[in-house]
Amino acid sequence: MVNDSRLKVVIVGGGTAGWMTAAALVKLLPTRCQVHLVESETIGIVGVGEATLPHIRAFNDKLGIDEADFMATTRATFKLGIEFRDWGQIGDNYIHPFGTFGSGQGELDFHQYWNRARLESHGVNPLGDFSMAVTMAYMNRFVLPDPDPARIESTFNYAYQFDATSYAPYLRRIAEQLGAKRTEGRIVDVDLDGETGDVRSVRLESGERIEGDLFVDCSGFFSLIMGKTLGEPFEDWTQWLPCDRAVAMPCRTRTALSPYTSAIAMPAGWRWRIPLQHRTGNGYVYSSQFTSDEDAASALFAAVEGEPIAEPRVLKFKAGRRTRSWVRNCIAVGLSSGFLEPLESTSIYLIQAAITGLVELFPQGEISPLDRDEFNRLIDLEYDRIRDFLILHYHATSRDDTPFWDYVRTMPVPDTLEEKMELFRRRGRIVKYREGVFLDASWIAVYIGQGVLPEGYDMRAGIVPQAALTEAMNTLRNRIRMAAEAMPEHRHHIEHYCPMPDAA
């Protein structure tokens, strides 16, 4: 039954952000809103964004998506974490895993015991040897996590690597089946209410006018309503995150199908490598202050492992965010609200965070300034914490081999990050979050992986006698190794669970 009191939500843009928003609203708030999405095929979508974080699984679950069907359609692979090569120093290699270090049991974080062993004995195995996800990743193994929390096979989490151009169409089918309306066309004007300044309608090239109560700006880097019409300022973070371009070029997969994304440091930035079922995504994220487009494209071309299957494509961006993401009756979701480089695959997560905030604070009639402020607080928090986490990767380096690495190593960093690093250096303490994306294991992986090593440890780690600690650590490492060895190869698991339609 149609309820006339439903708010009319107009979504501007049909990329990943637009269709994620549309699908979530029609599925989760069917009695509160009607959804009308406008997109322009002529303008198109940004078409990159292949690596995700585990949170996407909860989003898909809420929409009732069948995982195997979704993975087959989007030609997805499993992702256990991100491998960082050459970041601390050339030759370094570590994985930021999805999951815990240690068995996940006990009150004290495992890295404190590892830390004590490192400080008090001669040689300790790399921290990654005590992570199920890292061990599986290096051995190219995968199965779904065991639901029994007592088992070591339950201590990892996973995300997906998928074809960026097929997620939005997949969600579009779901959203349209649930009643979302779609109009094809280019928006040429946005009308504001003369008195309140609220957005009243968008006007298409065809002359059609689409009115709404609430507007979600998913227009990508254009930021059509939030940036261009409402003029919300953009906070530029280039001083800490100087990369402002990427050159992308997919290739055929020549090597084993690794269950992780790689981020390989380059002379003026870093390069991603994302294995999908049908190809490998590659791109070099770089700073235009330190290299040219031509040199970046040549460096990428020389580095990719398989035969290229498309011409290199350059994308331009700027790190930062809009001061507010909800202004008047417009909410910016996706690239229109800000951009943080894909080093930790956070953009789709940020879309999801904005949608969650919108669903939770969806207006009951009039928009409450309190709800709007709370939404903006949550989004700011997400952006600011991810920003600090990304800066850490650049700043915690001892590389001085190029002007780019010299700059990021010596640049002043935000006070919030300086304090976190100092706390970790003292006794390996991690600043705990109640909200936000990267929890303890993520920070621990990057700190230790890049050589930020604590000078002491939590005193509780000192209670166990040293011999017992050594034995417990050896037992744990062997348990993890044996569990991984018993798992199928990643490719094998995909072939049985979610092969792409034309795989045979």
Ligand X SMILES: Cc1cc2nc3c(=O)[nH]c(=O)nc-3n(C[C@H](O)[C@H](O)[C@H](O)COP(=O)(O)OP(=O)(O)OC[C@H]3O[C@@H](n4cnc5c(N)ncnc54)[C@H](O)[C@@H]3O)c2cc1C
Return the H-helix or E-strand segment holding 54. none
Q: Is 79 tagged catalytic?
A: yes
Is 303 in contact with 297 (CB distance < 8 Å)?
no
**Can residue 14 be called a binding residue for ligand X (CB under 6 A)?**
yes
> By CB under 6 A, what part of segment 280-309 binds ligand X?
283
Q: How far is the CB of 50 from ligand X (least distance, A)?
A: 5
DSSP string, 385-446: HHHHHHHHHHHS----SSHHHHHHHHS---HHHHHHHHHHHHH------SSSS--HHHHHHH
Which residue in 215, 317, 375, 443 binds ligand X (CB under 6 A)? 317
Of 237, 235, 225, 234, the C-alpha closest to 327 is 225
Q: Which residues contact 277 (CB under 8 A, 6 or more apart)?
A: 75, 76, 77, 257, 494, 499, 500, 503
Least separation in angstroms between residue 80's CB and ligand X is: 15
Of 97 and 283, the one with the shorter C-beta distance to ligand X is 283
List 9, 10, 18, 36, residue binding ligand X (CB under 6 A): 18
- Full DSSP string of 2-35: --TTSEEEEEE--SHHHHHHHHHHHHH-TTTEEE
Site string for ligand X, 175-204 (x = CB under 6 A): -----------xx-----------------
Q: How far apart are CA 387 and CA 389, in angstroms?
A: 5
320 makes contact with ligand X (CB under 6 A): no
Of the candidates 259, 257, 255, 261, the one whose C-alpha atom is nearest the C-alpha of residue 274 is 261
Q: Is 222 near ligand X (CB under 6 A)?
A: yes
Q: Check binding of 407 to ligand X (CB under 6 A).
A: no
How far does Cα 227 stand from its chain's mean position? 23
CB atoms within 10 A of CB 210: 19
8 Å CB contact between 161 and 98: no
Please say which residue, 246 or 304, places its beta carbon nearer to ligand X: 246
220 is a site residue for ligand X (CB under 6 A): yes
348 binds ligand X (CB under 6 A): yes
Q: Is 40 in the site for ligand X (CB under 6 A)?
A: yes
Q: Does 437 bind ligand X (CB under 6 A)?
A: no
Shortest CB 16 distance to ligand X, Å:
4
One residue of 10, 33, 39, 258 binding ligand X per CB under 6 A: 39
Candidates 315, 381, 421, 472: give the one binding ligand X (CB under 6 A): 315
> Using CB under 6 A, which of 49, 242, 275, 449 touches ligand X?
49
Counting contacts by CB under 6 A, is residue 16 touching ligand X?
yes
Please identify which residue in 7, 10, 15, 378 interacts with ligand X, judged by CB under 6 A: 15
Least distance (Å) from ligand X to the CB of residue 283?
Answer: 6
Regarding 46 and contact with ligand X (CB under 6 A), the answer is yes
Structural tokens at position 3: 């309820």
Is residue 264 near ligand X by the rule CB under 6 A? no
Is 347 a residue that touches ligand X (CB under 6 A)? yes
> Residue 306 in 3-state DSSP?
coil
Q: Which parts of 83-142 interact with ligand X (CB under 6 A)? A: none
Toward ligand X, which CB reaches closer, 17 or 26?
Answer: 17
Active-site entry in 27, 79, 420, 432: 79
Rounded Cα–Cα distance for residues 499 and 434 (Å) = 38
CA distance 56 to 61: 9
For ligand X, how many residues bind (rule: CB under 6 A)? 35
Q: Characterize the bridge pairing of strands 81-85 and 261-266.
A: parallel
Q: How far apart are CA 345 and CA 342, in angstroms?
A: 5
Least distance from ligand X to the Cβ atom of residue 302, Å: 19
- The residues carrying an active-site annotation are 79
Which residues contribute to the site for ligand X (CB under 6 A)? 13-18, 38-40, 43-46, 48-52, 186-187, 218-220, 222, 224, 246, 283, 315, 317, 334-335, 342, 345, 347-348
